[in-house]
Amino acid sequence: TMMYYMMMMMCLVTYMLLSLMRVFKNNPMSYKYLLHGTTLEVMWTMFPAMMLVLMAFPSFVLLYLTDDVVNPAMTMKAMAYQWYWVYEYSDFINDNGETIQLESYIIPDDLLELGQLRLLDVDNRVVIPVDTHMRFIVTAGDVIHCFSMPSLGVKIDAVPGRLNQVSTLVQREGVFYGMCQEICGVGHSEMPIVMECVSTDNFLEWL
């Protein structure tokens, strides 16, 4: 049947082409403005082009504005390893004068408790305050990973020897899940991110 339709189409197109050729061959005075209109062509090329340029510039401005990290209130450093995350609160020190940091491992299948999410829950959740302009500094200790929190609109590569920064403002409390999004070895699926957003008071208490 496919061949049948194709033959139909070919016959139709060939017929149209031949009849056009016949008409114009026998016509000593073809009407040239019917076939080609330079003004019209220039107009319908330039108009969309101008529209695209006009749309492009504001969106570039917006794009690069979202990359800017403007005066964050707090910094959290996320370091990726094979296959776990280390979170460091660079702005706070503990009683021994060291920066506060915690390691976050996945809960393996055989240790899961009822209600916990397989391949998604971790032993230590990273806690951040709500309604605070956060800066995440993201890096890795071995291979390239990726810090990805879909519900925060954050996804940035964790590259060894490089500090990538991204800013976000979490506007509601809750638990947010993320994952490593850069294939990093056999444990790639076993290094989820669980982020708990709490009120500032609770956050300071947790620290």
Task: Return residues touching Cu ion (CB under 5 A).
Answer: 145, 180, 184
Measured from the CB atom, is 135 or 145 closer to Cu ion? 145
Buried b (16+ CB within 10 A) or exposed e, 11-35: eeeeeeeeeeeeeeeeeeeeeeeee
DSSP annotation of 139 reads: E
Q: How far is the CB of 106 from Cu ion (least distance, A)?
A: 11
Q: Shortest Cβ distance from residue 80 to Cu ion (Å)?
A: 5
Smallest distance from the beta carbon of 81 to Cu ion, in angstroms? 8
Residue 206: cis peptide before it, omega within 30 degrees of 0: no
Q: Considering the complex, state which of residue 127 and residue 180 has its C-beta at the smaller distance from Cu ion.
A: 180
In the complex with Cu ion, the residue whose CB is nearer, 22 or 118, is: 118
Beta carbon nearer to Cu ion, 126 or 180: 180
Provide the minimum distance between the beta carbon of 191 and Cu ion in the complex, in angstroms, as a whole number.
5
Torsion of CA 119, 125, 127, 130, to 10 degrees: 30
Give strand pairing partners of 80: 85, 140
